[in-house]
């Protein structure tokens, strides 16, 4: 009790956020207590991308060229790698990026999401109690717990309320500090989240701007302040994103996804009608059934809590107030859910033609915008309930309707399942089984029973302990979301792999590039050739082991590599090691063999040039050559061609060109010998980094300042 008294003396502006942080950390205890590691894409994708960045920086080099995936690519240009994300920079201050770092980033992302929703709700409704509830519901919503494996989705959801809040404050007050701070929050989203979130964020902020412009159409003072601020804000955002823009422009001519994707591709993983059951009984969507088969397991959940649905009921009443805001939120939630359906409706085929809409997949991600709007609606409803008290007729009606829905669902499910199936499911849950084998009926029944039991216990506690309506709301919501999070954790959030085991794997990784395979034909470098692996770490192993590879899971790929991947051109390239001397020109009758040269036309290889001591370095490849022939001879670097590669022989510049349609090479002059070095440089990048860092220091100061006002 002494602790509670001391806690109650903490000012509200600190106490409520602290309580929110504590509840979130408790709910995601597998991460916050470092028990188990995240699963799927977070481990096999985003962790190796970040590991590459941290490892290069740790050794004092910019993370420019990664030879560890698909014959090399500019890792700094990967928009989903976090290379220019300030949160990643902060984590790298504590050392190399490892399993510990990715877990800390996941934890921070959940906290950023909750605190952002808290701040946005507080700004809209000026009630810290409701803001606390909304922040908790948002951070533990079905999107966050269901899509934990998609770190760039989590980041997009986490910064979304911050972006809306800061942009709204700028539009309301038209102050310079607010304008620049809003760009800081937008920059966080752009540098950390999936590009899909950036595209939709532009539409959201544009819509907000148009609404405020209409409201302020007669205010000349507002326009005089906002117009110059808008131009300055865009310039400031450009400064924040300078290295990201530079890196994207470096790779844009080669990017395999620079244009619109086909409709069949972008409509992958819609939030289909069966997934709507997750709004009421989210445990159902991880059951063993074909009902949800058209959507990936991690993209089916849109839960906002039973209390959230009750709040939405209250918001529909005329007495809830803020009719304009309610209309906007309802319209945005409805349109988001329609878009989330993907090609289940003809509407998505129309918006496909809007700028940016054809560049991303997985329409189910639109459910996060519906979740945010629905929770803000629910916050309006709960504020009205709290003002009216526990005896509110509308509150009672809403609770009764929800309990009837849950009860009917439980009765129907109970009629379609057996005691044995329910018993087997309970046993699987208690044993921590990753993928449940029970049918959806038993899931519905158990979920319904839990909700009914939780309501009964909460109601009796209100009477017995004289809880206030807010206390009951907070306890009910916290227990509800924590239990739902725990039930889904093994399926969509964590591997059954302990953090201690994963940390051991990283402790045994090489500190420097492994030179073992430098003379091995590339076709053998398939991410499996005796490399260190561990449970959960089964893809992108070459990145962790720091050896070249021809495979790799990464959406950032060279267009030419993809086009030639299953052609004789690729077969011929893969017959050779990472650096080699071509020995003969290819004739039409020649079969696939090492050392062939056919492009540019007229090039002739010679066995009189020798190469040895090949070393793969940080953004470099080097070796010793001796050209004993009477003519210049090509030395080939078996990496994807990029115009930013340079070459030199004992410091003398050599011209680098595309060779054999795919890779690159330089001509070693006749009779020359010495050390040849290929180096990747981006001349404009370093000035952009300096500009960005200085701009971020200002942005962070302003972001903290307006958060405290």
Q: pLDDT exceeding 70 applies to what percent of the chain?
A: 98
User: Where do runs of H (alpha helix) occur along 277-346?
Assistant: 306-315, 323-340
Average pLDDT on 677-705 reads 96
Helix axes 128-139 and 99-125, enclosed angle (nearest 10): 140
Q: Residues 402, 262: one domain? A: yes
Q: Which token pair is 675? A: 């050390």
Q: Identify which of 36, 35, 46 has the alpha carbon closest to the alpha carbon of residue 539.
A: 46
**Quick one: pLDDT at residue 320?**
67
What CA–CA distance (Å, rounded) separates 121 from 130? 7
CB 302 within 8 A of CB 271: yes
CB 68 within 8 A of CB 547: yes
* Residue 541 counted as domain residue: no
Q: Identify which of 466, 484, 666, 694 has the alpha carbon closest to the alpha carbon of residue 579.
A: 666
How many Cα atoms are found within 13 Å in the side-chain-facing hemisphere of 375? 33
Q: Identify which of 226, 117, 240, 250 has the alpha carbon closest to the alpha carbon of residue 174.
A: 226
* Residue 91 counted as domain residue: no
* Residue 707 counted as domain residue: no
What CA–CA distance (Å, rounded) separates 547 from 540? 10
Q: Residues 565, 489: one domain? A: no
CB 296 within 8 A of CB 275: no
**Quick one: pLDDT at residue 702?**
92
Count Cβ neighbours within 10 Å for each residue of 625-635 and write b for 16 or more, e otherwise.
bebeeeebbbb
Q: Which token pair is 157? A: 């959801």
Q: Which token pair is 633? A: 């001879």
Q: Which token pair is 51? A: 């590991």
How many Cα atoms are found within 13 Å in the side-chain-facing hemisphere of 302? 29
* Residue 609 counted as domain residue: yes
C-alpha torsion sign, points 470, 471, 474, 477: negative
Q: Give the number of other Cβ atoms within 10 Å of residue 611's Cβ.
A: 19
**Quick one: pLDDT at residue 33?**
98
Split at pLDDT 50, 70, 90, the class of 287 is very high
Task: Report the SS3 class of residue 626.
Answer: strand
By DSSP bridging, strand 673-680 and strand 73-74 are unpaired
What CA–CA distance (Å, rounded) separates 117 from 161? 5
DSSP state of 261: P
The domain total for the chain is 2
CB 297 within 8 A of CB 286: yes
* Residue 57 counted as domain residue: no
Q: Residues 318, 177: one domain? A: yes
DSSP state of 492: I
- Hey, which residues does 678 pair with through a beta bridge? 621, 647
Whether residue 616 is predicted with pLDDT greater than 70 in this model: the reply is yes
What CA–CA distance (Å, rounded) separates 518 from 115? 49
CB 435 within 8 A of CB 455: no
Split at pLDDT 50, 70, 90, the class of 162 is very high
Whether residue 323 is predicted with pLDDT greater than 90 in this model: the reply is no
Q: Which token pair is 579? A: 């650096």
What CA–CA distance (Å, rounded) separates 47 from 81? 9
How many Cα atoms are found within 13 Å in the side-chain-facing hemisphere of 205? 25
Q: Residues 484, 606: one domain? A: no
Q: What is the mean pLDDT of the chain?
A: 94
Whether residue 80 is predicted with pLDDT greater than 70 in this model: the reply is yes
**Quick one: pLDDT at residue 261?**
80
**Quick one: pLDDT at residue 316?**
86
Higher pLDDT, residue 254 or 604: 254
Q: Identify which of 163, 189, 137, 176 has the alpha carbon closest to the alpha carbon of residue 23.
A: 137
Q: Residues 490, 579: one domain? A: no
Q: What is the pTM of this model?
A: 0.96
Whether residue 707 is predicted with pLDDT greater than 70 in this model: the reply is no
C-alpha torsion sign, points 71, 77, 81, 84: positive
By DSSP bridging, strand 620-627 and strand 596-597 are unpaired
Q: What is the pLDDT of residues 410-462, one digit of tens each?
A: 999 999 998 899 999 999 988 889 998 889 999 999 999 999 999 999 999 99
Q: Identify which of 301, 344, 323 has the alpha carbon closest to the alpha carbon of residue 146.
A: 301
Whether residue 1 is predicted with pLDDT greater than 70 in this model: the reply is no
The answer to which of 187-191, 254-258, 634-638, 678-682 has the lowest mean pLDDT is 254-258
**Quick one: pLDDT at residue 603?**
67
Average pLDDT on 25-42 reads 97
- The set of residues, in sequence order, having a beta carbon less than 8 Å from that of 369 and lying 6+ positions away, is 160, 200, 204, 332, 333, 336
**Quick one: pLDDT at residue 161?**
98
* Residue 252 counted as domain residue: yes
Q: Identify which of 165, 398, 405, 88 has the alpha carbon closest to the alpha carbon of residue 276.
A: 405
Q: Residues 461, 568: one domain? A: no
* Residue 703 counted as domain residue: no
Q: Identify which of 62, 56, 53 has the alpha carbon closest to the alpha carbon of residue 87.
A: 53
* Residue 506 counted as domain residue: no
Average pLDDT on 499-518 reads 96
Average pLDDT on 306-321 reads 86
What CA–CA distance (Å, rounded) separates 190 from 700? 15
Q: Residues 451, 568: one domain? A: no
Q: Identify which of 198, 199, 225, 200 has the alpha carbon closest to the alpha carbon of residue 212.
A: 225
Q: Residues 377, 252: one domain? A: yes
Domain that holds residue 619: 560-684
What CA–CA distance (Å, rounded) separates 591 from 578? 21
CB 674 within 8 A of CB 666: no
What CA–CA distance (Å, rounded) separates 127 from 133? 10
- The set of residues, in sequence order, having a beta carbon less than 8 Å from that of 229 and lying 6+ positions away, is 170, 174, 175, 176, 179
CB 602 within 8 A of CB 663: no
**Quick one: pLDDT at residue 318?**
61
Question: Could you tell me how far CA 556 lies from the centroid of its own chain?
Answer: 14
Q: Residues 166, 302: one domain? A: yes
Task: Report the SS3 class of residue 208.
Answer: helix
What CA–CA distance (Å, rounded) separates 133 from 480? 12
Q: What is the pLDDT of residues 4-16, one digit of tens each?
A: 677 778 898 999 9
Q: Residues 478, 612: one domain? A: no
Q: Which token pair is 175? A: 């102050």
What CA–CA distance (Å, rounded) separates 534 from 351? 43
**Quick one: pLDDT at residue 569?**
93
Q: Give the number of other Cβ atoms within 10 Å of residue 419's Cβ.
A: 9
User: Where do runs of H (alpha helix) occur along 519-658?
Assistant: 541-545, 559-564, 568-574
CB 358 within 8 A of CB 352: yes
- Hey, which residues does 645 pair with through a beta bridge? 680
Q: What is the pLDDT of residues 169-200, one digit of tens each?
A: 999 999 999 999 999 999 999 999 999 999 99
**Quick one: pLDDT at residue 708?**
63
Domain boundary among 496, 514, 548: 496
- The set of residues, in sequence order, having a beta carbon less than 8 Å from that of 271 and lying 6+ positions away, is 295, 299, 300, 302, 337, 340, 341, 342, 363, 364, 366, 367
Split at pLDDT 50, 70, 90, the class of 599 is confident
How many Cα atoms are found within 13 Å in the side-chain-facing hemisphere of 564? 19
CB 625 within 8 A of CB 635: yes
């Amino acid at each position: 009790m002494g602790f509670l008294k001391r806690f109650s003396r903490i000012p509200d502006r600190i106490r409520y956020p602290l309580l929110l942080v504590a509840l979130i950390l408790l709910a995601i205890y597998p991460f916050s207590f470092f028990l188990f590691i995240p699963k799927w894409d977070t481990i096999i994708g985003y962790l190796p991308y970040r590991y590459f960045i941290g490892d290069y920086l740790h050794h004092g080099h910019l993370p420019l060229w990664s030879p560890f995936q698909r014959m090399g690519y500019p890792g700094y240009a990967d928009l989903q790698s976090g290379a220019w994300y300030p949160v990643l920079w902060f984590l790298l201050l504590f050392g190399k990026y490892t399993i510990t770092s990715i877990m800390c980033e996941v934890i921070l992302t959940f906290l950023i999401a909750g605190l952002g929703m808290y701040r946005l709700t507080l700004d809209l409704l000026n009630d810290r109690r409701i803001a606390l509830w909304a922040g908790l519901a948002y951070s533990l919503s079905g999107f966050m717990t269901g899509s934990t494996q998609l770190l760039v989705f989590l980041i997009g959801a986490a910064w979304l309320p911050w972006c809306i809040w800061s942009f709204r404050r700028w539009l309301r007050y038209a102050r310079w500090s607010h304008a620049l701070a809003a760009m800081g929050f937008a920059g966080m989203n752009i540098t950390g989240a999936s590009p899909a979130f950036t595209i939709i964020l532009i539409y959201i902020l544009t819509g907000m701007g148009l609404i405020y412009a209409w409201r302020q159409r007669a205010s000349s003072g507002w326009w005089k302040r906002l117009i110059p601020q808008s131009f300055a804000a865009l310039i400031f955002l450009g400064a924040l994103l300078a290295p990201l823009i530079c890196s994207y422009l470096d790779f844009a001519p080669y990017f395999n996804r620079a244009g619109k994707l086909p409709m069949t591709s972008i409509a992958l993983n819609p939030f289909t009608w069966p997934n709507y059951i997750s709004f009421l009984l989210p445990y159902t969507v991880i059951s063993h059934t074909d009902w949800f088969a058209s959507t990936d397991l991690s993209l089916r959940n849109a839960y906002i809590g039973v209390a959230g649905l009750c709040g939405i009921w209250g918001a529909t009443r005329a007495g809830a107030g803020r009719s304009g805001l309610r209309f906007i939120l309802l319209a945005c939630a409805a349109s988001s859910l329609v878009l989330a359906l993907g090609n289940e409706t003809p509407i998505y085929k129309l918006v496909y033609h809007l700028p940016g809409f054809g560049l991303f997949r997985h329409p189910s991600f639109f459910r996060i915008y519906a979740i945010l709007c629905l929770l803000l609606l629910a916050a309006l409803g709960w504020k009205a309930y709290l003002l009216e008290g526990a005896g509110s007729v509308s509150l009672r009606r809403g609770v009764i309707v929800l309990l009837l829905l849950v009860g009917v669902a439980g009765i129907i499910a109970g009629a379609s399942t057996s005691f044995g199936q329910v018993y087997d499911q309970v046993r699987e849950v208690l044993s921590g089984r990753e993928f449940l084998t029970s049918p959806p009926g038993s899931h519905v029944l158990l979920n319904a029973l839990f909700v009914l039991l939780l309501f009964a216990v909460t109601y009796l506690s209100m009477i017995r302990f004289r809880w206030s309506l807010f206390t009951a709301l907070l306890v009910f919501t916290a227990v509800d979301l924590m239990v739902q999070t725990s039930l889904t954790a093994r399926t969509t959030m964590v591997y059954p792999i302990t953090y201690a085991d994963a940390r051991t794997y990283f402790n045994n990784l090489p500190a420097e590039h492994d030179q073992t395979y430098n003379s091995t034909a590339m076709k053998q470098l398939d991410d499996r050739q005796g490399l260190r692996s561990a449970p959960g770490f089964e893809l992108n192993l070459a990145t962790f082991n720091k050896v070249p590879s021809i495979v790799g899971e990464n959406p950032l790929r060279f267009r030419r590599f993809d086009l030639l991947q299953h052609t004789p051109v690729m077969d011929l390239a893969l017959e050779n090691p990472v650096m080699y001397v071509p020995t003969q020109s290819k004739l039409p009758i020649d079969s696939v063999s090492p050392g062939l040269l056919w492009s540019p036309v007229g090039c002739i290889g010679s066995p009189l040039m020798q190469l040895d001591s090949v070393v793969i370095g940080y953004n470099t490849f080097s070796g010793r050559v001796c050209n004993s022939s009477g003519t210049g001879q090509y030395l080939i670097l078996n990496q994807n061609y990029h115009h930013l590669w340079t070459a030199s022989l004992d410091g003398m510049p050599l011209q680098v060109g595309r060779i054999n349609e795919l890779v690159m090479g330089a001509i070693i002059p006749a009779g020359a010998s010495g050390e040849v070095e290929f180096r990747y440089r981006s001349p404009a990048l370093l000035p952009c980094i300096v500009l960005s860092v200085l701009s971020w220091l200002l942005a962070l100061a302003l972001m903290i300042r307006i958060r405290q006002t």
